[in-house]
Amino acid sequence: MATSSFTVGIVGATGAVGQELLRLLLERDFPCERLRLFASARSAGKVITQGGQTFTVEEARAGVFGDIDLAFFAAGGGVTRSLAPDAVAAGCVVIDKSSALRMEPDVPLVIPEINPEGLRQHKGIIANPNCSTAVMLMGLWPLHKAFGLKRAIVATYQSVSGTGAEAVRELEGQVQAHVAGSPIKAQVYPQQIAFNCLPHIDTFGPDGYTGEETKMAQESRKIMGLPELRVSATTVRVPVVRAHSIAVSAEFERPVDLAEARRAVSEFEGAELIDAPENNSYPTPLAFAEKVKCGVGRLRRDTAFDNGLSFWVSGDNLWRGAALNALMNAELMIREGWLKPKKG
Amino acid sequence: MATSSFTVGIVGATGAVGQELLRLLLERDFPCERLRLFASARSAGKVITQGGQTFTVEEARAGVFGDIDLAFFAAGGGVTRSLAPDAVAAGCVVIDKSSALRMEPDVPLVIPEINPEGLRQHKGIIANPNCSTAVMLMGLWPLHKAFGLKRAIVATYQSVSGTGAEAVRELEGQVQAHVAGSPIKAQVYPQQIAFNCLPHIDTFGPDGYTGEETKMAQESRKIMGLPELRVSATTVRVPVVRAHSIAVSAEFERPVDLAEARRAVSEFEGAELIDAPENNSYPTPLAFAEKVKCGVGRLRRDTAFDNGLSFWVSGDNLWRGAALNALMNAELMIREGWLKPKKG
């Protein structure tokens, strides 16, 4: 990467996404001169070891961003709202995983392979998309480029790690209780998630859609620059630990050619085409956990639309859907010279 | 029920659907004078106890149907093809759960709450629908009656009991191995099903659709009498033991009124409206396992269509999707006087 080196902060470093960010930052040789980890006061002082290095967690609060060039916010929307303005005022670039600011007109919402131009136009804060949206667009974007997207109807199969580490423990605990014949307790989710499906992710709005479903529609329009795009989503939690999958049926402006569709997907850098069903070859969440690319397969003409195409995509919600997308945004900014150390 | 009493056979009595049929026949006080259980030669002689009664399994073969009035076929398509003609020739009415004859023009494919007239028009064989189709139509049919169905895009969340008892054991075994930290073996499915989703049910056709997906389209058209209906399905196996769920987005001819939609669903005898998301109230497979009705909820205007409606339905694949539907077909025939004992 670039030779200049950065002071980097991770806010929310003890959470599921924060931990993945730390791991990926070290594994991908991000040009950090110094890396500082922040979390709530409760976690301050905690020692974290990753990649042979040891970090002491500091309390995330106003005033800590003075020497930081780049801050990854991997906490909830409340933390972003309260601390990101302070970081920006200190001249720090914020890359935020929360949903707090994604739809703000002056906050670019960026997937680096789709709309990198947002990384040049920021005003201090760059938002990262919702995890299901990011995974879905790894299939939908190359197909849109090929045929012109008009409408998408999608259903998700989302893993519990999207809720956080406590949900992973809940699924694990319920499965253990099941095997032991003990009573199954539900605390993180309103109902048992082991051996069940819950059509409920985020809170319900007055129109009957969940926040997650609304995000998938709104964020797709913003990222792809398609304000008229019609999207209808049903988002469902399934007893999978890691990686989300999405069944997509899409209608396009132009006639769809299947060979061209496969070529478009396989040439897109965010996707890996896994599409030989005759050999039982299709993406699964288990196969695409901890993978940089998302797996796209089951491409076929959609039988409900004239210019339609259906596909199935699986991708790591913590990576493509959060930590990796954030990091790739920063890497691209550095490569293009759009991000430089303050003191550089 | 009717006072006349029948000699009834269950072919495939040792399988998952056969066992549910036996249980439901006894629980629902079906007017059996005599009940004979048939299975492959391998299972002949096996003794089955259910509801305090004991049955000895006989070999299913040509020539056994002489005294039988009504035979439920709960085995595979091969058994139906080889033995159903013999049963019909012996004057026996066959109610078949296999897919072998469903699309034959002279075989009615019947859900009793939707197209009971097929039960009068049979030529000895009545087919039962595919499990996902049956569950889906418990929501789609009342909405079609209200608004005129044009197009449906659906994604399924199907339980392993749809594959059979061996798949239930496989999921259970994989979960036990996971908890024990032992290697996980996949034999029934091509890949691990525990903590995974497989977009693969039945075999793949040359158009890229699975047999299950094609059945959902074809059978919906036949049962609802809508030859022009456009359906696109993605069918997915999830780590759930029992009951299938389906996310449905549908386009209608007429404008959709949500209150009217809810009324139509709640008045339909096959459905139970579970639709108070603000109280975390929506159907789940766990809640609708071993339920006679299917749960329909999450009703909302579909954001991808002008006259669109989305919903979520969960229902027992072994009951509504197989054994119960078959039994309810027979019960209705008896109630209407369309089925009488041969010797009566």
Residue A103: CATH number of its domain? 3.40.50.720
Query: For A22-32, how does the pLDDT look when each residue is reduced to its tens digit (9 = 90+)?
Result: 999 999 999 99
Domain that holds residue A104: 6-129+322-335
Q: Which residues of A102-134 are buried (b: 16+ CB within 10 A; e: fewer)?
A: beeeebbbbbbbbbbebbeebebbbbbbbbbbb
| Domain presence at residue A340 | no
Domain shared by B137 and B89, yes or no: no
Query: For A270-283, how does the pLDDT look when each residue is reduced to its tens digit (9 = 90+)?
Result: 999 999 998 999 99
Distances (CA, A) of B41 to A320, B16, B37, B59, B212: 53, 17, 12, 5, 29
Closest residue of B to A175, CA-based?
B175
Assign A344 a pLDDT band (cuts: 50, 70, 90). low
Mean pLDDT of chain B: 96
Domain shared by B46 and B150, yes or no: no
| Domain presence at residue A291 | yes
Q: What is the pLDDT of residue B155?
A: 99
Domain shared by B265 and B161, yes or no: yes
Domain shared by B184 and B281, yes or no: yes
Distance CA B239, CA B174 (A): 10
* Token output for A309: 């195409």
Mutate to test the interface with B, among A153, A184, A187, A207 (most CBs of B within 10 A): A153
Assign A188 a pLDDT band (cuts: 50, 70, 90). very high
Domain shared by B180 and B303, yes or no: yes
Assign B343 a pLDDT band (cuts: 50, 70, 90). confident
Q: Which of A291, A315, A302, A138 minimizes the C-alpha distance to A224?
A: A138
For residue B188, how many other CB atoms are within 10 A of its CB? Answer: 17
Degrees to nearest 5, angle at CA B165 with B41 and B53? 65
| Domain presence at residue B220 | yes
Concerning whether B131 is annotated as a catalytic residue, the answer is: yes
| Domain presence at residue B262 | yes
Q: List all residues 6 or more positions away from B17 whose beta carbon is below 8 Å from its beta carbon.
A: B74, B97, B318, B322, B323
Domain shared by B125 and B153, yes or no: no
Cα dihedral sign for B133, B231, A222, A115?
A: positive
The minimal CB distance from A230 to the residues B280, B297, B303 is found for B303
| Domain presence at residue B341 | no
Task: Kindly state whether B29 is in contact with chain A, defined as any CB-CB distance less than 8 angstroms.
Answer: no
| Domain presence at residue A341 | no
Length of chain B: 344
Out of B131, B178, B200, B294, the active site residue is: B131
**B158 among the known binding-site residues?**
yes
| Res B111 pLDDT > 70 | yes
| Res A1 pLDDT > 60 | no
Domain shared by B40 and B179, yes or no: no
What number is the average pLDDT over the span A216-236? Answer: 98
Concerning whether A144 is annotated as a catalytic residue, the answer is: no
Structural domains of chain B, count: 2
**A34 among the known binding-site residues?**
no
Distance CA A335, CA A268 (A): 20
Distance CA B127, CA A255 (A): 38
| Domain presence at residue A240 | yes
Length of chain A: 344
**Do B197 and A284 lie within an 8 Å CB cutoff?**
yes
